[in-house]
Protein backbone atom coordinates (compact mmCIF):
# COMPACT_ATOMS: atom_id res chain seq x y z
CA UNK A 1 0.00 0.00 0.00
CA UNK A 2 2.87 2.23 0.73
CA UNK A 3 4.26 1.66 -2.78
CA UNK A 4 0.87 2.56 -4.33
CA UNK A 5 0.91 5.80 -2.39
CA UNK A 6 4.44 6.59 -3.58
CA UNK A 7 3.50 5.74 -7.17
CA UNK A 8 0.43 8.01 -6.92
CA UNK A 9 2.56 10.83 -5.46
CA UNK A 10 5.13 10.36 -8.24
CA UNK A 11 2.42 10.57 -10.92
CA UNK A 12 1.05 13.76 -9.32
CA UNK A 13 4.50 15.32 -9.25
CA UNK A 14 5.21 14.40 -12.87
CA UNK A 15 1.82 15.73 -14.06
CA UNK A 16 2.28 18.90 -12.01
CA UNK A 17 5.70 19.39 -13.56
CA UNK A 18 4.31 18.96 -17.09
CA UNK A 19 1.50 21.44 -16.40
CA UNK A 20 3.90 24.01 -14.96
CA UNK A 21 6.34 23.50 -17.85
CA UNK A 22 3.45 23.86 -20.39
CA UNK A 23 2.38 27.21 -18.91
CA UNK A 24 5.86 28.64 -19.19
CA UNK A 25 6.08 27.49 -22.81
CA UNK A 26 2.70 29.02 -23.73
CA UNK A 27 3.37 32.46 -22.23
CA UNK A 28 4.74 34.89 -24.80
CA UNK A 29 8.23 36.22 -24.31
CA UNK A 30 8.53 39.83 -23.28
CA UNK A 31 9.65 42.18 -26.02
CA UNK A 32 12.62 44.33 -25.22
CA UNK A 33 11.72 48.01 -24.88
CA UNK A 34 12.79 50.08 -27.87
CA UNK A 35 12.86 53.79 -28.61
CA UNK A 36 10.03 53.40 -31.15
CA UNK A 37 7.67 52.10 -28.48
CA UNK A 38 8.25 55.18 -26.35
CA UNK A 39 7.08 57.60 -29.11
CA UNK A 40 3.28 57.96 -29.25
CA UNK A 41 1.89 57.38 -32.76
CA UNK A 42 -1.33 59.08 -33.85
CA UNK A 43 -3.52 56.57 -35.61
CA UNK A 44 -5.19 57.80 -38.80
CA UNK A 45 -8.46 56.03 -39.58
CA UNK A 46 -8.35 54.18 -42.89
CA UNK A 47 -11.51 55.90 -44.12
CA UNK A 48 -10.21 59.50 -43.76
CA UNK A 49 -8.43 61.08 -46.72
CA UNK A 50 -7.08 64.56 -47.46
CA UNK A 51 -6.74 66.45 -50.76
CA UNK A 52 -8.79 64.03 -52.83
CA UNK A 53 -10.04 64.30 -56.42
CA UNK A 54 -13.08 62.20 -57.38
CA UNK A 55 -15.07 62.11 -60.64
CA UNK A 56 -18.56 60.67 -61.08
CA UNK A 57 -20.21 59.95 -64.43
CA UNK A 58 -23.75 59.40 -65.65
CA UNK A 59 -24.81 56.27 -67.57
CA UNK A 60 -23.62 57.36 -71.00
CA UNK A 61 -20.65 59.38 -69.69
CA UNK A 62 -22.22 62.56 -71.06
CA UNK A 63 -22.49 64.31 -67.68
CA UNK A 64 -19.57 64.40 -65.30
CA UNK A 65 -19.05 65.66 -61.73
CA UNK A 66 -15.35 66.46 -61.12
CA UNK A 67 -14.66 67.22 -57.48
CA UNK A 68 -11.76 68.29 -55.27
CA UNK A 69 -12.06 67.81 -51.50
CA UNK A 70 -9.84 69.14 -48.74
CA UNK A 71 -10.89 66.16 -46.63
CA UNK A 72 -13.33 63.27 -46.87
CA UNK A 73 -14.44 60.61 -44.42
CA UNK A 74 -16.08 57.58 -45.97
CA UNK A 75 -19.15 56.60 -43.94
CA UNK A 76 -20.53 53.85 -46.21
CA UNK A 77 -19.91 52.63 -49.77
CA UNK A 78 -21.93 55.56 -51.15
CA UNK A 79 -21.77 58.21 -48.39
CA UNK A 80 -18.97 60.69 -47.65
CA UNK A 81 -18.65 63.45 -45.10
CA UNK A 82 -16.49 66.21 -46.58
CA UNK A 83 -14.80 69.53 -45.97
CA UNK A 84 -13.86 72.01 -48.66
CA UNK A 85 -15.62 70.82 -51.83
CA UNK A 86 -14.95 72.49 -55.17
CA UNK A 87 -16.50 70.79 -58.18
CA UNK A 88 -17.30 71.20 -61.85
CA UNK A 89 -20.43 69.87 -63.55
CA UNK A 90 -19.65 69.10 -67.19
CA UNK A 91 -21.82 68.27 -70.18
CA UNK A 92 -19.72 66.50 -72.84
CA UNK A 93 -16.57 68.14 -71.47
CA UNK A 94 -18.07 71.67 -71.35
CA UNK A 95 -18.29 73.21 -67.86
CA UNK A 96 -21.92 74.12 -67.14
CA UNK A 97 -21.75 74.75 -63.37
CA UNK A 98 -19.17 75.35 -60.67
CA UNK A 99 -20.03 74.17 -57.16
CA UNK A 100 -18.44 74.91 -53.81
CA UNK A 101 -19.29 74.28 -50.19
CA UNK A 102 -17.29 74.42 -46.97
CA UNK A 103 -18.61 71.12 -45.56
CA UNK A 104 -21.47 68.66 -45.75
CA UNK A 105 -22.51 65.20 -46.94
CA UNK A 106 -22.07 63.66 -50.36
CA UNK A 107 -24.15 60.62 -51.26
CA UNK A 108 -23.57 58.93 -54.61
CA UNK A 109 -25.48 56.05 -56.11
CA UNK A 110 -25.91 55.01 -59.74
CA UNK A 111 -25.24 58.42 -61.26
CA UNK A 112 -27.07 60.33 -58.53
CA UNK A 113 -25.22 62.80 -56.31
CA UNK A 114 -26.71 64.37 -53.21
CA UNK A 115 -24.96 67.33 -51.57
CA UNK A 116 -26.16 68.40 -48.14
CA UNK A 117 -24.72 71.55 -46.66
CA UNK A 118 -24.61 75.14 -47.79
CA UNK A 119 -23.92 74.70 -51.52
CA UNK A 120 -23.03 77.47 -53.98
CA UNK A 121 -23.57 76.80 -57.71
CA UNK A 122 -22.60 79.31 -60.35
CA UNK A 123 -22.32 79.70 -64.09
CA UNK A 124 -21.65 82.75 -66.29
CA UNK A 125 -25.01 84.42 -65.50
CA UNK A 126 -26.36 83.11 -62.19
CA UNK A 127 -25.25 82.28 -58.68
CA UNK A 128 -27.33 79.83 -56.63
CA UNK A 129 -27.24 79.34 -52.85
CA UNK A 130 -28.80 76.02 -51.84
CA UNK A 131 -29.23 73.87 -48.72
CA UNK A 132 -29.52 70.51 -50.46
CA UNK A 133 -28.94 69.48 -54.08
CA UNK A 134 -29.80 66.16 -55.74
CA UNK A 135 -27.96 65.93 -59.07
CA UNK A 136 -28.93 63.31 -61.65
CA UNK A 137 -25.94 62.74 -63.94
CA UNK A 138 -27.96 60.22 -65.97
CA UNK A 139 -30.66 62.75 -66.97
CA UNK A 140 -28.62 65.98 -66.70
CA UNK A 141 -30.82 67.75 -64.16
CA UNK A 142 -31.00 68.57 -60.46
CA UNK A 143 -33.45 69.32 -57.66
CA UNK A 144 -32.63 71.74 -54.85
CA UNK A 145 -34.62 71.92 -51.63
CA UNK A 146 -34.60 73.66 -48.30
CA UNK A 147 -33.69 77.23 -49.05
CA UNK A 148 -33.06 78.29 -52.66
CA UNK A 149 -31.68 81.67 -53.67
CA UNK A 150 -30.85 82.65 -57.25
CA UNK A 151 -28.89 85.84 -57.82
CA UNK A 152 -28.29 87.61 -61.14
CA UNK A 153 -27.05 91.11 -61.96
CA UNK A 154 -30.52 92.65 -62.00
CA UNK A 155 -32.71 90.34 -59.90
CA UNK A 156 -32.84 87.89 -57.03
CA UNK A 157 -35.26 84.95 -56.60
CA UNK A 158 -35.95 83.04 -53.39
CA UNK A 159 -37.93 79.81 -53.12
CA UNK A 160 -38.14 76.60 -51.10
CA UNK A 161 -37.63 74.19 -54.01
CA UNK A 162 -36.11 74.28 -57.48
CA UNK A 163 -35.67 71.83 -60.34
CA UNK A 164 -33.65 72.51 -63.46
CA UNK A 165 -31.45 71.11 -66.17
CA UNK A 166 -27.73 71.50 -65.51
CA UNK A 167 -27.49 74.44 -67.96
CA UNK A 168 -30.20 76.36 -66.03
CA UNK A 169 -32.23 76.76 -69.23
CA UNK A 170 -35.43 75.16 -67.86
CA UNK A 171 -35.96 76.23 -64.23
CA UNK A 172 -39.02 75.39 -62.14
CA UNK A 173 -39.47 77.05 -58.74
CA UNK A 174 -41.99 76.15 -56.04
CA UNK A 175 -42.65 76.87 -52.39
CA UNK A 176 -43.46 80.60 -52.27
CA UNK A 177 -41.04 81.92 -54.93
CA UNK A 178 -40.28 85.63 -54.51
CA UNK A 179 -38.70 87.86 -57.16
CA UNK A 180 -36.79 90.98 -56.15
CA UNK A 181 -35.63 93.38 -58.86
CA UNK A 182 -32.39 95.22 -58.22
CA UNK A 183 -32.28 98.94 -58.94
CA UNK A 184 -29.36 100.57 -60.72
CA UNK A 185 -27.22 103.06 -58.80
Cβ contact 175:152 at 8 Å: no
Question: Could you tell me the pTM of the whole model?
Answer: 0.71
Task: For CA atoms 170, 79, 138, 167, give the dihedral sign.
Answer: positive
| pLDDT tens per residue, range 119-174 | 999 999 999 999 999 999 999 999 999 999 999 999 999 999 999 999 999 999 99
What region, left, alpha or beta, does residue 9 occupy, with left being phi > 0 and alpha being psi -120 to 50 degrees? Answer: alpha
Give residue limits of the domains in the chain.
2-28, 51-181
Kindly indicate whether the domain formed by 51-181 is annotated with CATH number 2.60.450.10: yes
Q: Using 50, 70 and 90 to split pLDDT, how confident is the model at 79?
A: confident
Amino acid sequence: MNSKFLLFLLIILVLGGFILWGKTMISEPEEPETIDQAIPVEEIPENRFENVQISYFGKENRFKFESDFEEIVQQTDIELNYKGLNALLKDQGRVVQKLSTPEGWLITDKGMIQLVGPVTMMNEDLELFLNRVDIDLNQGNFVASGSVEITADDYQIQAERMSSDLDLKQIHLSGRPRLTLKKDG
